[in-house]
Structure formats: structure tokens, C-alpha cells
Structure 1
């Protein structure tokens, strides 16, 4: 009997490392922040949430998000306006199947707007996203995707938070909504004050009607990294 127990223990000791190695690793933590400041009316609010939902369920996006079952992407979504207004729409979720992604999309379609500070606190939105990403330290890369249709006008200025240690190793990209007009070049503003980290970029939609198409392009660009090999985790930690 003792021999059998010992053999079972040895067998379990051999199997456990293999089970541990089979656990999927997080290749990217992606936080999406949606602008719901006063410049976004109720119709545009709906276009934004429904556009993101449709983008997530786009076949090409689904294929990219689910490209590897061994190295997954984790997603969270929040909306923001003034410095004291950030609301989680979806907490961190591992994107492991089409069913999971569809559940996120359906949740967005069922979300209704709640009253919020109408001002635009971009600096605080950047820090909120960074704090959110800090909850996923084991992910190999960390990206914050902020949509916006105007310049910051309340709270900490975005240009004043770039040296904040919470933004270390985080890439901040932007989806700018609204055509640039004389005296209001939103692309230049976001590029100068909001973008952060190596490879950061802006995507533009002339209006919220184009939000879905722009979000599809943006997610594809943000997640276009080469599928990693088994050696990548070791290289990743060695670089830190």
C-alpha cells in the first residue's frame, strides 16, 4: 500500500509541472476608455458603445483577439468624463472564446448612460487607466486606448502626468473623434499631450458614425504583435 501511495505521489509530482505550463499566459492587457463628457450627446453615446460592441464582434477582430489559446489578451472597458467620473463597464476579462467576446459586446449594447460631470478630465482618465493596468502585472504588455472628442478642460492636465511612475511601461493610444478645424487640431493635441510610450499612435474618426470602423482598425493595430514563442516570457522578464 505504501508503495502504491509513493508511486501516486511521484506521478502527481510529474504531472503538476505540466499542468502549470499549460496555463495560458497574458500577452497583452488592453484597457479601453470611452469619452462621455458633455460634448458627447445621447445619440453619440449610443454610437460609441454600439460601435465598440460591433468592432469586437467583427470577424477580423475576433480572429486577432483569439489568435492564440496559449498567450491570451485580457480586456477591460471604462467610460470617463470629469476628473471624478470614471465608471467600469467591464472588469478584466480573459478573451478565450467568441462566446466571451459576444458577452462583452452584448453588455455594452445593454448599457445605459448615467449622469456624470460634463467636463473633460483627460489627465485623470490617463491615470485611471494606468491604475487599472497595474492590476495585471503578469501581462507582457500594457496598452491604454482612450477615445476623445475634445481637449482636456478640468483636473490634471494630460501633459503633466507623463512622468508619473504609474505610466511606466504603459503605451497610451488615442482614437480622436471629430474632424480637425482651424484652431482645433485634435490630432496634434492628442499626439502632443496624450500619447505615451514606444509605438503609440492616434486613429481618427471624423464623427461617431465612423467610430466602429476606426475602432476595428485601432484594435487590429494595437494587437498586431507577432505571436510569441515559448522563449518569449523568459526574454520579457530578462528585459525588466
Structure 2
């Protein structure tokens, strides 16, 4: 049910954190994965460590996205899975005080790049008889927040993008779903993990009383990419330890 042997995949932002965990999990299940990030050194290092092709890719560069898809299809003879994981948080703050240049960059990386990559990748997936696209959304796109502005807005857009693309591509057997992680223990969340007051408050709002791990998000991605998730499309799979459903008591 979870076998991905012979499948070709792209995972953007796959040199660390959730992206790397997803790439490793897909490889464990038999897939071949092109590793990519905007950092050439990181991409080369992780590519060598995982024994997979790597390609530097700035997801805001349409030509770089096109090269990523062309390289993958050339390397693997086709494409079956695309995971749009690359993203940034941007500057925290209210919309009233927002830096519009930062806002534009967050939307470009977190949302527009996913539209462009899917437009390039999904025809190749359809040509193989079908497959899976997984878009990285966030719990922040499902709740109001006074400090997470452009990021939350972009992630809400990603979940809607998954629904729209699922309708558009479903007749060609291409499934499109989103994953919305909650608070995950990664290198980027290190400062928050070290903030005792924040962690006490946030874990009290999480029924499982702990942060998630990148591997737990990767497990959800494997499910969505594999035959186990073959009848699932247009969904936003929330992996958050129960934070969304609790009243904090």
C-alpha cells in the first residue's frame, strides 16, 4: 500500500527540516527523488548524502522551475510525484504594519511558486497515467493570528490551490492534496523550542502535549503519494497533534 518503487519525484526545499524528511521517506519507500533548494552547497551535500540527483532551484525563478521539471523527467524518464515544500515565514507583525516587499516575497515563494511548479509538473504526472501532488500548507492558514500575516495568508491560499487543482486534474488521475503541519520541531523552530513561556502556552493548546517531528509530516506525505491514498484528493490533511480541534482546556 505504501510502495513507491520506480516512482520519480521532486521535493522542493528538501535539504533540511520537513522537506528533507519527506525526501528520505519517499526514498525509503522506493522512489527516486531530485533534491532541490536555493542553496547550491546544501543541495550538493544532501544529494550526495542521499545518493540522489540534486539541482539548485530558486522557486521564484520560472526558468529554474522549468529546468527542475525537465531535469527530473530526463533523469527518471517521467514524473509521478511533486512535493511543493519550499517556503519562508517572512517578518512577523500585523497587517497594519506590514512590509509590502516582504509580503510580496512570502507570497511569491509560498504560493505563486506552487502554482507555477504544478502547472509545469502535473502534465508530466498525467502523462504517466496519474500520480500525486502534495502542497505544503500550514495550521496557521486555518486559524486567525495577530502576528503571522503574509505567511498565514499564503498558506490558506495553498489549501485552496489544492482543492482547485484536484478538480482540474482529477479526471486525468492526478491527485492533489495539501498538508497542514502544526508546531514541528525543526532547526527553524529552535528559538521557539527554547522559549519556555511559549512552549508551556503552546503545548497546553495541543492535546498530545508535544511538538511534532519532521518524520511525522513525512509519513503523511508518503500516505498521500502512495496507493494507500489513491482515493484521496482535494484534501487539507492537518497534522498538528490536535491543536486545531482543542479549546485549550
| Structure (1 or 2) with the greater helix fraction | 2
The alignment's TM-score, normalised by the length of structure 1, stands at 0.44
| Structure (1 or 2) with the greater strand fraction | 1
Q: Kindly name which structure, 1 or 2, has the bigger radius of gyration based on alpha carbons.
A: 1
The alignment's TM-score, normalised by the length of structure 2, stands at 0.43
